[in-house]
Amino acid sequence: MKKFLADFGFEVIEGSDQLLPLFNHKRGARVSRGNLRFQLEESDDRAQKATFNLFLTDFSDEEIQRIKSIGYEHRHKDTTPYGEFHTFHTPDGGTIIV
C-alpha cells in the first residue's frame, strides 16, 4: 500500500508518533498530499479488514496519465455533468477516484 500511495503523489511516513499505533500494536503511517492528511494502521486480523476508498479532485491530466502508465488496475473514465472521473483499484480492494 505504501508504494501505491506514493505513486499517487502521497508522502508516506512510516513509524509511530503519539497517535500510532492505536490498535493491535502493528505498523502505522502518516500519509499526506497537499492539505489532505490521515493516518493508516496495518493489521493482520482479517476480521478487521476495511478497504481504502478516496475521492480526490486535485489530480492533473498528466498525473492521471502517469498513474495509468504504471499499470494499476483501473476503469476507464466516466463522464458526468461534473467532469471526467477515473477509478483506480487499491491493492486492498478499495478504490481511488480522481
Percent of the chain with pLDDT over 90: 22
pLDDT per position as a tens digit, 46-60: 776 677 888 888 888
How far apart, in whole angstroms, are the C-alpha atoms of residue 52 and residue 88? 11
pLDDT of res. 6: 92
Q: Would the pLDDT of 23 be above 60?
A: no
- Chain centre distance of CA 67: 12
What pLDDT digit, counting tens, does each position of 29-84 carry?
Answer: 889 999 999 888 777 777 766 778 888 888 888 998 899 899 888 887 777 787 78
Q: What is the pLDDT of residue 14?
A: 82
Query: How many CB atoms sit inside 10 A of residue 56's CB?
Result: 15
